[in-house]
Amino acid sequence: MKKILITGGAGFIGYHLAHHLLADDGNELVLVDNLQRGKRDTDLLELLKNDRVSLIEADLTDHKFYQSLPDDFDRVYHLAAVNGTKWFYKMPQEVLRINVLSLIYILEWIRGLSKKPKLCFTSSNEAYAGALEAFNQLPLPTPENVPLVISDTFNPRWTYAGTKLIGEQFVIFYAAAYQFPAVIVRPHNFYGPRAGYDHVLPEWSQRIARQEEPFVIYGADETRTFCYITDAVEAMQLLMDSDSTNGYPVETVHIGNTDEITMSDLAKKMFAAAGWTPQKLEYKPSPPGSVKRRLADISKIKRLVGWVPSTSLTDGLKKTFEWYQAHPKK
Ligand SMILES: NC(=O)c1ccc[n+]([C@@H]2O[C@H](COP(=O)([O-])OP(=O)(O)OC[C@H]3O[C@@H](n4cnc5c(N)ncnc54)[C@H](O)[C@@H]3O)[C@@H](O)[C@H]2O)c1
Peptide bond connecting 141 to the previous residue in cis, omega within 30 degrees of 0: yes
pLDDT tens digits, residue range 106-158?
A: 999 999 999 999 999 999 999 999 888 788 888 999 999 999 999 899 999 99
Domains of the chain: 2-191+228-257+295-310 (3.40.50.720)
pLDDT for the residue numbered 287: 77
Cα-to-centroid distance, 4 and ligand 1 (Å) = 17
User: Does the C-beta of 47 come closer than 6 Å to ligand 1?
Assistant: no
Cα-to-centroid distance, 80 and ligand 1 (Å) = 4
Taken in order 255, 256, 257, 260, the sign of the CA dihedral is negative
Q: How many residues does the chain have?
A: 330
This prediction has a pTM of 0.98
- Hey, which of 79, 106, 159 would you mutate to test ligand 1's pocket, going by the most ligand atoms within 8 Å of its Cβ? 79
- Hey, which of 5, 17, 36 would you mutate to test ligand 1's pocket, going by the most ligand atoms within 8 Å of its Cβ? 36
Q: Which residues contact 78 (CB under 8 A, 6 or more apart)?
A: 7, 8, 102, 103, 106, 119, 120, 121, 122
pLDDT tens digits, residue range 196-210?
A: 998 999 999 999 999
Alpha-carbon 315 to chain mean position: 20
Nearest CA to ligand 1 atom 12: 79
pLDDT for the residue numbered 292: 85
Nearest CA to ligand 1 atom 21: 11
| Backbone dihedral angles phi then psi of residue 161, each to the nearest 5 degrees | -60, -40
User: Does the C-beta of 161 come closer than 6 Å to ligand 1?
Assistant: no
Nearest CA to ligand 1 atom 34: 33
Nearest CA to ligand 1 atom 28: 81
pLDDT for the residue numbered 285: 93
**Reduced DSSP (H G I as helix, E B as strand, rest coil) percent helix, strand, coil of the chain, to 5:** 40, 15, 40
pLDDT for the residue numbered 139: 92
Q: Could you tell me whether strands 261-262 and 223-224 are parallel, antiparallel, or unpaired per DSSP bridges?
A: antiparallel
Cα-to-centroid distance, 38 and ligand 1 (Å) = 8
pLDDT for the residue numbered 293: 86
Tell which atom from ligand 1 comes closest to the C-alpha of 102. 31
pLDDT for the residue numbered 198: 87
User: Does the C-beta of 44 come closer than 6 Å to ligand 1?
Assistant: no
The parts of the chain modelled with pLDDT lower than 70 are none
Tell which atom from ligand 1 comes closest to the C-alpha of 36. 37
What is the distance between the alpha carbons of residues 254 and 111, in angstroms, rounded to a whole number?
A: 26
User: Does the C-beta of 229 come closer than 6 Å to ligand 1?
Assistant: no
Q: Which residues contact 242 (CB under 8 A, 6 or more apart)?
A: 304, 305
pLDDT for the residue numbered 294: 87
pLDDT for the residue numbered 133: 78
Tell which atom from ligand 1 comes closest to the C-alpha of 13. 16
Answer for the pair 328, 202: CB distance below 8 angstroms, yes or no: no
Residue-wise DSSP of 81-128: ---SHHHHHH-HHHHHHHHHHHHHHHHHHHHT-SSPPEEEEE--THHH
Burial of 265 (0-12, 13-18, 19+ CB in 10 A): middle
pLDDT for the residue numbered 218: 94
pLDDT for the residue numbered 274: 95
